[in-house]
Structure 1
């Protein structure tokens, strides 16, 4: 997908917000630590980066659950497969 800068920044901010929320509410991180984890997971990629935005192919929820519970979170925690209303409300 080709992103213009505004679209990319909007998506980046949204995914960072979602990731930080999950890391705080499900990962037990303090708000500052959750924000730092989101910045680390979703660094800014320059417009000429070959795979810019590829991380957006899965929602922040998924990436955060992988960080918290590992690769088998869907099998070991099936209740976490469906996004909760509080997370959806961030959109």
Structure 2
């Protein structure tokens, strides 16, 4: 993955994470943006596990933060993101 591709992907995941935090986590846009930056910090190219957070999508990480571990068993309706979320891409 090139640097440009990494940055583009990082920004996309931040946008998705912030959307979830606003719509499901009752955060303001500013709070959601700050939460997204915290969850998805920029990692330099030499970082040993750069981009490892991308192994799960922003929806999953946001749901974990909002509802905790095993959220999908307590809230099976949240297992898959809604159309509004997927339309952000």
* TM-score, structure 1 normalization: 0.96
Distance 1:51 1:15 in 2: 17
Runs (4+) of structure 1 exceeding 6 A deviation are none
Distance 1:82 1:42 in 2: 21
Distance 1:82 1:23 in 2: 15
Distance 1:58 1:72 in 2: 14
Describe the SS at the equivalent of 1:52. coil
**Paired position in structure 2 for 1:71:** 69
Distance 1:26 1:34 in 2: 11
Describe the SS at the equivalent of 2:33. helix
Distance 1:42 1:35 in 2: 10
Aligned residues: 89
Gaps of 5+ in 1: none
What is the RMSD of the two structures over their aligned residues, measured on CA atoms?
0.5
